[in-house]
A and B are shown apart, each in its own frame.
Chain A
Amino acid sequence: MNRVKQTMQSLYWLVRRELWEHKALWIAPAVTGGLLLVATVWGFIAMVSNPEAAAIFNEQAVPQLQQSGTADLAHGFTRAGMALLYMVMLVVLFFYCLDSLYGERRDRSILFWRSLPVSDTMTVLSKVLVALLVAPLIIAAVVVALEVLDLMTAGPIVAFGTALTYGEYFQPLAVLSAITGALADMWLLGLWFLPYFGWLFLISAWARRAAFLWALMPPLGVGLAEYLMFRTTGFFRLIGEHLALPFRGMSEQQFGFRVDSSGVLTQAGAAGPDLTGLSGLAEPGFWIGLSVGVVFLATAVAIRRYRGETA
């Protein structure tokens, strides 16, 4: 078998391995999505079973919806739902990254994984791919399943109980465009957040114990030391601004205003549908963060190379 094919095949199985071990990666978004669906269906049932509420909906909401287009609404709801799932996923990913190179040393399974012809670079790469590429795909898959279930449950309830027709409720193309758009945004956000992911992987590879504390204490310590010595908060502001940077485009494009660095609200131009937009790539902060993230990851690989099991 040629080398490229074997490498790709190994990478595929390494990613599968991650999903076997870290079931929270798909259980957490699936459960959150399920709750969203249940809440939606429950809300619609409550509305159609109450004649007054249904009447108000029919009189006030339906004409407006029919006018502005239910497609936009479906698009917006899908984007909002995916944003929520992404928040949940970020929490899962925090613990995933922190455990990824630490857990295998704690349970000594690193001795098994490293007895196989897989390089440390490949192993770390597979875990980064899971965090950056696969996790958003899981969210997208969950949302596709939710949309199908939604069209089978909430759709008929609305169609039978209100003046809105099923045809108006049925907006798969708008939902699909929202899903692909959100997917691209989540992938891009992953690259924005690479320095944070990289830091967690680095600590995960390095810490002999208490990886959680090691991940949080140094940044907190740096910020606190700066404050105690200079009474300034430059480090925290730097992190905060970098974290918020990708969303600046969102407020600008989604809501038509932007907040500049001095905190002044200014009106901006036309509102677009993009969450972050590729325009963020013009920011130097993006590229600096990306380089820092890559350095962290390279260090994590180098550490795993000679780190045995913990204590």
Chain B
Amino acid sequence: MTAVIKANGLKKRYGRTEALAGIDMDIQPGSIVGLIGPNGAGKTSALKAILGLTRFSGELEVMGQDPRVARHQLMRDVCFIADVAVLPRWLKVGQALDFVAGVHPRFNRERADAFLARTEIRLDSKVGQLSKGMVTQLHLALVMAIDAKLLVLDEPTLGLDILYRKAFYDTLLNDYFDGDRTILVTTHQVEEIEKILTHVMFLKAGRIILDEAMDDLPERYREVLVKPDQVEAARALNPLHERELLGRHLFLFEGQAKETLAQLGEIHHPGIADLFVAKMGTGRATAGEVQS
């Protein structure tokens, strides 16, 4: 199958700062990819390059097209939600539906209407009168009614309460994702999307430092709650990360055999957040961000 997104040495500079230091990507159709990194790691730069919203150097193909050349043609097959509240406040809900129906050949008005009917959003309300959560619902309704091949989400649930956040991903998974479509999502709330992802990428200072299928993670990464007398032995095995939890030591290993680790203590599968902290390796500041 041809890749939905293929990047080769993708670079982006803002003046002296290098936002993307040459990243490679190969995203296949039908995957849900989480792009995770601390603030300033280059997530938004990567998405903007993919969407043709910014200049870059290196190779990048989205659905076989160069987004620099063919942005508006690309937008027939690509949808994106760039965090909450980019819908203008003066726009009425009905106008938003009319407008998208008018300019987008793949928009299905009935589908959007049906989705909105399940919410408390009224067609004659202005966006400025809706709550943040409702604006996101409206944007999601517009996007879900578009028969697109790639959906790009940049912090789609930032600032929403937990009910809206959960509903957002539930809807996305149940009503939108059909196995052929591809979703690329960046977020700080790693735990929320952990279960829906098929692939995960970590971005640190403009570089991709982890690119794995979710199914491969348990084989590759193991977390061990090491017995007190085995701590030195564990350290000798070159762990990725070590932390103390209620007086006991938790070690994270990459690529160590299950049998070896079983002698040290209890083995767990690390969550993405734990893996993220270990990989970023910069201590608490980053960890706090990831869980915020």
Residues on A facing B (Cβ under 8 Å): 1, 6, 9-10, 12-14, 16-17, 20-21, 104, 107-109, 111-112, 114-120, 122, 305-306, 308
Q: Does B287 contact A (CB under 8 A)?
A: no
Q: Which residues of B contact A20 (CB under 8 A)?
A: 90-92, 95
Which of B74, B79, B82, B100 contacts A111 (CB under 8 A)? B82
* Contact indicator A115/B75 (Cβ below 8 Å): yes
Total contacting residues, chain B, CB less than 8 A = 32
Which of A12, A112, A114, A308 contacts B102 (CB under 8 A)? A12
**23 A-B contacts, Cβ less than 8 Å apart?**
A9-B103, A10-B102, A12-B102, A13-B102, A13-B103, A14-B103, A17-B99, A104-B88, A107-B89, A108-B82, A111-B86, A112-B82, A114-B71, A115-B81, A116-B104, A117-B74, A117-B103, A117-B104, A117-B105, A119-B71, A119-B72, A306-B54, A308-B48
* Contact indicator B105/A1 (Cβ below 8 Å): yes
* Contact indicator A118/B103 (Cβ below 8 Å): yes
* Contact indicator B48/A9 (Cβ below 8 Å): no
Closest B residue by C-beta to A305? B71
| Min C-beta distance of A252 to chain B, whole Å | 45
Max chain B Cβ within 10 angstroms of own Cβ: one of A6, A10, A112, A122 = A112
* Contact indicator B82/A115 (Cβ below 8 Å): yes
* Contact indicator B72/A117 (Cβ below 8 Å): yes
Which of B71, B85, B91, B103 contacts A10 (CB under 8 A)? B103
* Contact indicator B75/A109 (Cβ below 8 Å): no
Q: Does B55 contact A (CB under 8 A)?
A: yes
| Min C-beta distance of A121 to chain B, whole Å | 9
| Min C-beta distance of B292 to chain A, whole Å | 22
Q: Which residues of A contact B99 (CB under 8 A)?
A: 13, 16-17
Q: Which residues of B contact A308 (CB under 8 A)?
A: 48, 53-54
Q: Does B266 contact A (CB under 8 A)?
A: no
Q: Which residues of B contact A115 (CB under 8 A)?
A: 51, 75, 79-82
* Contact indicator A117/B76 (Cβ below 8 Å): yes
